[in-house]
Chain A
Amino acid sequence: MNELNQLAVTDEMMLDEKEQIIDQLMDEYSDDILHLVYTYVKNQATAEDLTQEIFIKCYEKLHQFNEQATIKTWLYRIASNHCKDYLRSWYYRKIMLSNKILDYIPSKSKQVEEEVITNSEENRLTNAVMNLPLKYREVVFLHYYEEMSLREISKITTVNINTIKTRLNRAKELLKDKIVEED
C-alpha cells in the first residue's frame, strides 16, 4: 500500500497506470467503502451501485488528487460526498422514501419479527447505531468502525474537530437513552 500512497498523480499519467491505481484501491478498500456507503443508505443494492459509481468517479478525478491528503482520506471523502448527494437527490427523496414507507405498513412486518428474534447484543448495538441521525451515525462509524482519528474524520467530512467531539458525546447519550428505554 505504501506504493500507492507515494504515488505521484499527474495529468500525463498513462491510462493503464490510472486503471491500475483504481484496481489497487478496489482491492484494498472496496469492502470498507461498501460498508461506509451502507451506513449512509441502509440498502445493500443501493450501496453496491453507489460504491461502483464512487470508484468510477475516483478514476475521473484522479488527476485532481494532490498529495496533501492520503489517497485513503481522499477516497473516503469522495465516497461520503457521493452518498450525501444521493440522499439529497430527487430520486431518493421521492422514490426510495415512499418505498420505505411501504415497509412500515403492518402487513409487511414479517421482517421486523425476524429481527426481533435474532436480537442479540450485537444486533442491538448495530441497530441502535444504524438508527442514529445521519450526522451522528457518520462520525460514530468512522471513529469506531474505521478506527479513524478525529483529524482524519475532520478531513473527510469537513466538520471541525470540536464539533466531531460534541457529536460523538451526543451520540453516546442518545444510545444510552435508547438502551434505558428498551430495558
Chain B
Amino acid sequence: MNDPFMNLKSSMKKTVFKDLSFSNERKKAVQEAIRTNQQSQIHNWNIETIIAILESVQHESKDGYNISIQLFQKNERTFQENEGQLYTLLHLLENKEILTSNWINNKKYYSLDSKGKKYLATYKQDTSKQKLSLKHLIQEASL
C-alpha cells in the first residue's frame, strides 16, 4: 500500500505553512528579551566596570552624567554610545544596596552604601587575590 503521508511535506508547505515564517521582528524581540535578562543580573557585568563606578562616587556623590564622564576619563568604554545601560546598572546597584541615592534639584546623586564601601575596600586590599572573592560577594548579593 502506498504511504498516505508521502506527500505531507509538500502539501503542508503549499497550505498551512505557505506564509508562516518567523519574522525578523520576532527575532529582534527574542534578542531584546535576552539582553534585558542579562542586564538584570549583576554577575553578568564586568567587575572592573562595577569597581570603576564605585570608585567614581567614593569621595563625593555624583549624578549619572558626571559618573559617565569620570568613567570616560578612566577609559572605561562599556557605556560609550550606550549611555542608557549605565542607568540600568546604577539602578541595579541601588537595588542591591551597593549604591544609595539622593534627589537634589531634580537630579539623582549616587553614593556608596555600606555594602558598596565594603566591596571597594575588599577589592583594594589585594587586587589580584580579591577579584575572585569580590565576585563571590557580589554574586551573593545578587541572590
A interface vs B, CB < 8 Å? 15, 19, 22-23, 26, 30-31, 33-35, 38, 44, 47-48, 51-52, 55-56, 59-60, 121-123, 125-126, 129-130, 140-141, 143-145, 147, 171-172, 175-176, 179
Contact = CB atoms under 8 A, between A and B. Distances in A.
A149 to B, nearest CB: 15
The main secondary structure of chain A at its interface with chain B is helix
Contacts, number: 92
A64 to B, nearest CB: 16
B44 interface: yes
28 contacts: A15-B44, A19-B34, A22-B31, A26-B30, A31-B20, A31-B21, A34-B20, A34-B21, A34-B22, A35-B12, A38-B17, A38-B20, A52-B26, A56-B30, A56-B34, A59-B37, A60-B37, A122-B7, A122-B10, A122-B11, A122-B14, A123-B11, A125-B5, A126-B12, A140-B5, A143-B5, A145-B9, A147-B9
Contacts of A23: 27, 31
A141 B34 CA distance: 30
B16 A130 contact: yes
A124 to B, nearest CB: 8
Interface of B: 3-12, 14-17, 20-23, 26-27, 29-31, 33-35, 37-38, 44
Given A22-B34, A26-B22, A35-B20, A126 B11 contact: yes
B21 A175 contact: no
Contacts of A171: 5
A52 B17 contact: no
A55 B29 CA distance: 10
B22 A129 contact: no
B31 A129 contact: no
Contacts of B29: 52
B17 A35 contact: yes
A55 B143 CA distance: 25
Given A52-B30, A122-B10, A172-B3, 10 more contacts: A22-B34, A34-B21, A38-B20, A47-B20, A121-B11, A122-B11, A122-B15, A129-B8, A129-B12, A144-B5
Contacts of A141: 8
Contacts of B37: 56, 59-60
Contacts of A60: 37
Contact of B16 (A22, A38, A59, A144): A38
Nearest to B27: A26
Contacts of B6: 144
A123 B12 CA distance: 8
Given A122-B11, A140-B8, A144-B5, A44 B20 contact: yes
